[in-house]
């Protein structure tokens, strides 16, 4: 029986991502994407951008009209809800109807629930912005409420079905949810069970907001001055085992772009599934800039930390390769612990792609990665170099699972996928979404580098044969060439292949 407490504990179980789910599920998404998008081959409609005010249907109930935005008729769990805040949402009520019960299990102010003003507190519900940019938001009159994203990550499990409604016409929204295999035993959410799980939720929140894993094993460490073309290697103890933390110390004074020239590579049992620049692997971008999430952190002193769990059967090696033109002092260390390798065990992958420049004045589906094999997609980091002040992030994510011809995940904007809204924050750290300091302030200027990370925990995406992740790339008027760079983080059974070979 999968309970709320089980799901809460899974949120801090990094090992769970490194195994094929024991209770199999499909990760799905309901969103307010423009319903004109029906055929990827039809360019006239595929890039339509009216990605708001969309819904499944309107129902008339004893409570009045209700707009249905999500419906699932299987055992499952809601894992994430996002919206872009607007004052018109202040009076709107969100309702969760579980297992065909005519009475809602949750009935709350939509804004208050996602803001963290009700039973779900940070990090399960939060405002995804530092709000320092509010006075500088483009086109807003003085005193206008800040334009921010609202995020909800508290799991809401259900035994047979779930329907989510709004009391008014929806604006922008995403709902991610798990649909478990038929027959999976799930204990449905109730406020009584939520209160009973309060101690578990408090412990999980403390860990999510804390300092990461405590690894008892002593680190294996190598220090070197790397000349251009040289590599620093650290071997993990013989397995079966799993790397549980990776730490890298670099000079905090490294110049802009130097982190892009330092590449993290890893080999597990003869496979080479990790090849990613430091800039995106740790989510800090092209300079040493503090940021933190559930799987990685960058400190202002030049310390980089990763808590991705990396299993291996026999041998594992991590390398730092200097592909640049400067000499770099580096200190690389890892900790490893035991791991029981079985048919559910997955290898960690970190892949990377950069396109510079992205040309043209029409949108395009820019591919993060295409994977063949069996595994779980666990997150990504996007860095964009924008040469002009105009907003670049209207593009939607499109995720195709197991050969789908139409994406089962279709979003409403790049910043929405990463949990923000109306553009990015100035800087932000949380377990699930993060970004280091932007190069420009305010929402009148989007020039320079922006780096954003999304960590997928309960909303990780299992795939049985393949996964393709595209992000629609396009710009507001006066297009100029941009640079996109994306790291993807995923797990797969040995032998999986992909299209991102960074030599």
Question: What would the DSSP string read from start to end of 213-252?
Answer: ----SPPEEEEEEEPTT-EEEEEPPSSSEEEEEEEEE--T
Q: Tell me the backbone φ, ψ of residue 195, rounded to 5 degrees.
A: -65, -40
Q: Are 435 and 417 in contact, with CB atoms under 8 Å apart?
A: no
pLDDT at 290 over 80: yes
Give percent above pLDDT 90 in the chain. 83
108: helix, strand or coil: strand
Range in 162-171, 199-208, 351-360 the model is least confident about: 351-360
Residue 363: which pLDDT band, with cuts at 50, 70 and 90? confident
pLDDT at 137 over 60: yes
Q: Which domains does the chain have, with CATH numbers?
A: 4-208 (2.60.120.1390), 215-344 (2.60.120.1390)
448: helix, strand or coil: strand
Q: Tell me the backbone φ, ψ of residue 111, rounded to 5 degrees.
A: -65, -45
Question: What pLDDT does 358 receive?
Answer: 72
Average pLDDT, the chain: 93
Residue 138: which pLDDT band, with cuts at 50, 70 and 90? low
Question: What pLDDT does 481 receive?
Answer: 82
Tell how strand 316-322 and strand 156-158 pair up.
unpaired
pLDDT at 213 over 60: no
Rounded Cα distance, 426 and 415, in Å: 12
Question: What pLDDT does 146 receive?
Answer: 75
pLDDT at 489 over 90: yes
Q: How many Cα neighbours within 13 Å face the side chain of 362?
A: 5
Residue 319: which pLDDT band, with cuts at 50, 70 and 90? very high
Tell how strand 466-473 and strand 296-298 pair up.
unpaired
Please state the rounded mean pLDDT for residues 189-218: 87
Question: What pLDDT does 479 receive?
Answer: 67
Q: Are 381 and 369 in contact, with CB atoms under 8 Å apart?
A: no
Range in 82-96, 136-150, 158-172, 253-267 the model is least confident about: 136-150
Give percent above pLDDT 70 in the chain. 94
Q: What is the pLDDT of residues 51-94, one digit of tens each?
A: 999 999 999 999 999 999 999 999 999 999 999 998 889 999 99
Q: Token pair for residue 428? A: 């932000």
Residue 390: which pLDDT band, with cuts at 50, 70 and 90? confident
Residue 203: closest CA among 14, 15, 8: 8
Terminal Cα-to-Cα distance of the chain (whole angstroms): 46
Residue 499: closest CA among 456, 455, 469, 462: 469
Rounded Cα distance, 407 and 421, in Å: 22
Rounded Cα distance, 8 and 196, in Å: 12
Question: What pLDDT does 302 receive?
Answer: 92
Q: Are 370 and 492 in contact, with CB atoms under 8 Å apart?
A: no
Q: Token pair for residue 271? A: 């496979």
Residue 44: which pLDDT band, with cuts at 50, 70 and 90? confident
């Amino acid at each position: 029986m999968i309970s709320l407490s089980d799901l809460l504990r899974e949120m801090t179980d990094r090992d769970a991502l490194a195994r094929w789910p024991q209770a199999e599920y499909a990760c799905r998404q309901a969103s307010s994407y423009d319903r004109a998008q029906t055929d990827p081959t039809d360019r006239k409609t595929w890039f339509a951008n009216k990605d708001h005010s969309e819904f499944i249907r309107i129902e008339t109930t004893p409570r009045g009209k209700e707009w249905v935005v999500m419906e699932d008729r299987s055992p499952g769990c809601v894992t994430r809800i996002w919206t872009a805040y607007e004052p018109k949402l202040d009076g709107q009520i969100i309702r969760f109807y579980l297992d065909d019960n005519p009475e809602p299990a949750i009935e709350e102010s939509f804004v208050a629930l996602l803001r963290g003003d009700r039973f779900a507190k940070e990090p399960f519900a939060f405002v995804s912005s530092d709000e320092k940019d509010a006075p500088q938001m483009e086109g807003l009159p003085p005193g206008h409420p800040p334009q921010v994203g609202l995020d909800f990550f508290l799991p809401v499990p259900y035994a047979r079905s779930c329907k989510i409604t709004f009391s008014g016409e929806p604006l922008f929204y995403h709902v991610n949810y798990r649909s478990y295999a038929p027959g999976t035993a799930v204990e449905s959410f109730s406020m009584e069970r939520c209160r009973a799980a309060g101690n578990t939720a408090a412990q999980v929140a403390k860990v999510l907001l804390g300092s990461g894993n405590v690894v008892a094993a002593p680190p294996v460490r190598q220090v070197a001055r790397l000349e251009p073309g040289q590599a620093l290697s650290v071997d993990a103890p013989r397995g079966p085992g799993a790397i549980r933390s990776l730490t890298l110390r670099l000079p905090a004074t490294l110049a802009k772009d130097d982190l892009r020239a330092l590449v993290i590579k890893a080999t597990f049992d003869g496979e080479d599934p990790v090849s990613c620049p430091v800039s995106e692997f740790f989510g800090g971008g092209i300079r040493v800039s503090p940021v933190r999430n559930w799987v990685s952190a960058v400190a202002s002193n030049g310390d980089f930390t990763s808590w991705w769990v990396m299993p291996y059967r026999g041998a594992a090696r991590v390398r730092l390769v200097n592909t640049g033109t400067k000499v770099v002092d580096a200190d690389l260390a890892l900790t490893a612990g035991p791991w029981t390798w079985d048919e559910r065990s997955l290898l960690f992958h970190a892949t990377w792609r950069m396109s510079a420049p992205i040309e043209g004045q029409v949108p395009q589906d820019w591919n993060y990665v295409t994977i063949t094999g069996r595994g779980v997609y666990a997150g990504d980091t996007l860095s964009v170099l924008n040469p002009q002040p105009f907003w670049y992030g209207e593009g939607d994510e499109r995720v195709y699972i197991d050969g789908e011809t139409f994406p089962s995940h279709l979003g409403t904007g790049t910043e929405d996928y990463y949990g923000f809204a109306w553009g990015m924050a100035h800087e932000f750290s949380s377990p699930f979404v993060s970004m280091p300091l932007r190069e420009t302030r305010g929402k009148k200027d989007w020039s320079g580098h922006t780096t954003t990370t999304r960590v997928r925990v309960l909303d990780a995406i299992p795939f049985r044969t393949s996964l393709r992740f595209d992000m629609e790339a396009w710009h507001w008027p006066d297009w100029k060439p941009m640079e996109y760079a994306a790291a993807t983080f995923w797990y797969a059974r040995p032998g999986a292949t992909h299209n991102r070979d960074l030599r």
